[in-house]
Structure 1
């Protein structure tokens, strides 16, 4: 059973982002690490989270790094909405006030690497046991022997479901279908329609409700690949129009427009508020259910005609190669993804470090 990242499905889209990003590579030069006598160093860090607890955790890493370096550092966090993250970040990086460090979506990884705006992190990583980081997890973020960003989240996709709605519709649970060997996309379509018909509640909400725009590839990839299709080859040949890919996309299209079982474009109905029976989840989303008003469960992604095709979503952090403090920013990236930092994040974002992945901190997180 193979495990896929979404990297193979973004090469054509990446070309558009490269065009934007490459413009800024012509301007500004990065500077070496500042001296202690220069006073506090101001660093700007761009993310797509606005969660105050997560921001506080990230800032604690900056404080720990500053103490280790014996250098006063002040961090400003910029929270950019996910749906507009790539666009806004690309524009900022073209100006003189771009972030020194920034999160990178896996779908944008090739574009940012090609643009030259991600600093090489190999030297900064040396002090923090780089061999502990999974080579597979680093593959997307590396090129020519150089590492350009370090993943802080490596999370498999799975189905979150509302047990109460399944019971109300008189349906078996996804786990029961799994045990029977019938948890596939046709069954998924059937239960989504049955729930909508019998309860009036949407059967399925796409990934974060963004499956028609910002997360269209995340939404379709599990279906398309389990049908034996894909989006593009590694060298850019289009595959989304082959028979297997078309069959998978047609199934989803039918769920939306024929069955009317999927939350449609523009509708804000949310699984976590009890307004949809199923959604695609990752470990970082599970905490949103801590105070849910309904019973819930989780199940693997449905299988297709070619069997299961697990999808792993990644997010990484990198340093701006044109930052005035590029050396310091690169070291901070390595510090923010060292063993202790990754262990502290394990309950939110699944780690790429092998030692933390096997640790008690991770195995008992999100309980």
Structure 2
């Protein structure tokens, strides 16, 4: 496997809509020796519940004494619910973790060391660097289950109707900006571009601008810089011009998804987890590696399966974590359904991903791995993400100049690092 495939040590897709919200019941063992194992996830709903069910049934066939109960929550609520359940002593036996939050949970003692309970310890099926990404203090506290990248989606019909050249892998920010301006028709509710003004987009555009988020020693924020201002300005400049304002969005869930599906959005910065939900849209669309500025840089999100340190069924939890993250059933199901990609060592499994004709340029998914922007990770991760997003939002709403917003965000992050 190439180095570009195995350095995908980044995480989390902004996925999911609500399904079940998570029971407060602990794992149980029936009188017949059957074990009920709870699994909490953010990435399955709404588009891949059936795919997860297929994997679950295959696992239960191989492990007839185990019943897996799946619980889901949308990503923006998921970690609050998970933290509450752990603090209240009702943690699910197994749960999904993204790379950004892994360090916090592992350091807090919330995770079970899967090294001794995950089925013999053979980890050769995994891409080694992906496996190493979920080790802490030398212990395997989670098993890598999937990775996904962010690309530029575009509505081919809108481009062709407007007579604008289609995006290419060589595009820069300037190319994207020029096309977005031509494609925007606010009177008709058609927008040229959509890129959320938030932490996850900022650290990536910062890398594209040639900047760094943290100092070399990781002890101070480094994004309050000319490159940081350029990156933040790039995001903020779209608001109210080539993309809707916060007021126009009005807090509507999945606003950007619905806008693209309705054929009123020309370009959309989003992840490959969206592929499955776009199968039946009534227009032609495709993807390309995101434009860059001083450099190319693509966000890569990486999710894993962990088990609670308080589970009463460590062996069963380990077996489920291993099956969900590395079995042939899980890997082929993910590839065939475009449910992100399995971080496996076998290139042939990944090669099958290219056979699906929608979108046509699936090669962009792998090309984006050539220039990765890894997310900054600290112990107080969620607070850092929220602080940066809040200040960027102030700038996007016109309440603060970009430079002042970045200065305030840097001060907030320094306080979290102190």
In the superposition, the TM-score normalised over structure 2's length comes to 0.70
Find the aligned partners of 2:150 and 2:161 in 1 and give their Cα distance.
26
Quote how far apart the aligned CAs of 1:317 are.
1.4
Q: State whether residues 160 and 281 of structure 1, in contact with CA within 8 Å, keep that contact through their aligned partners in structure 2.
A: yes
Aligned partner of 1:97 among 83, 87, 90:
90
For structure 1, list consecutive stretches of 5 or more residues without a partner in the other structure: 8-29
2:137 is aligned to 144
- Partner SS, residue 188 of structure 1: helix
Q: State whether residues 104 and 316 of structure 1, in contact with CA within 8 Å, keep that contact through their aligned partners in structure 2.
A: yes
Aligned partner of 2:158 among 161, 165, 169:
165
- Partner SS, residue 174 of structure 1: coil
Do residues 362 (structure 1) and 345 (structure 2) align? no
Find the aligned partners of 2:121 and 2:155 in 1 and give their Cα distance.
42
Quote how far apart the aligned CAs of 1:133 are.
0.8
Do residues 349 (structure 1) and 340 (structure 2) align? yes
Aligned length: 327
Do residues 263 (structure 1) and 251 (structure 2) align? no
Residues 328-343 of structure 1 aligned to structure 2 (within 5 Å) = 328-340=316-328, 341-343=330-332
Find the aligned partners of 1:60 and 1:197 in 2 and give their Cα distance.
44
Aligned partner of 2:81 among 75, 88, 96:
88
Quote how far apart the aligned CAs of 1:290 are.
1.1
1:16 is aligned to none
Do residues 250 (structure 1) and 243 (structure 2) align? no
Find the aligned partners of 2:38 and 2:278 in 1 and give their Cα distance.
32
Do residues 109 (structure 1) and 113 (structure 2) align? no
Residues 304-315 of structure 1 aligned to structure 2 (within 5 Å) = 304-305=293-294, 307-315=295-303
Q: Which stretch shifts more, 295-304 or 126-135?
A: 126-135
Quote how far apart the aligned CAs of 1:172 are.
0.8
Do residues 55 (structure 1) and 49 (structure 2) align? yes
Do residues 221 (structure 1) and 203 (structure 2) align? yes
Quote how far apart the aligned CAs of 1:126 are.
4.9
Find the aligned partners of 1:4 and 1:60 in 2 and give their Cα distance.
26
2:19 is aligned to none
Of structures 1 and 2, the one scoring higher in RCO (CA 8 A, sep 6+) is 1
Quote how far apart the aligned CAs of 1:366 are.
6.4
In the superposition, the TM-score normalised over structure 1's length comes to 0.79
Do residues 194 (structure 1) and 182 (structure 2) align? yes
Find the aligned partners of 1:298 and 1:130 in 2 and give their Cα distance.
33
Find the aligned partners of 1:52 and 1:43 in 2 and give their Cα distance.
22
Q: Which stretch shifts more, 111-120 or 46-55?
A: 46-55
Q: For residues 46-97 of structure 1, what are the alpha-carbon distances to aligned partners after superposition, in whole Å with 9 as ceiling and x for unaligned? A: 11246477334334434433443452x2222211111111112111111232
Q: State whether residues 118 and 321 of structure 1, in contact with CA within 8 Å, keep that contact through their aligned partners in structure 2.
A: yes
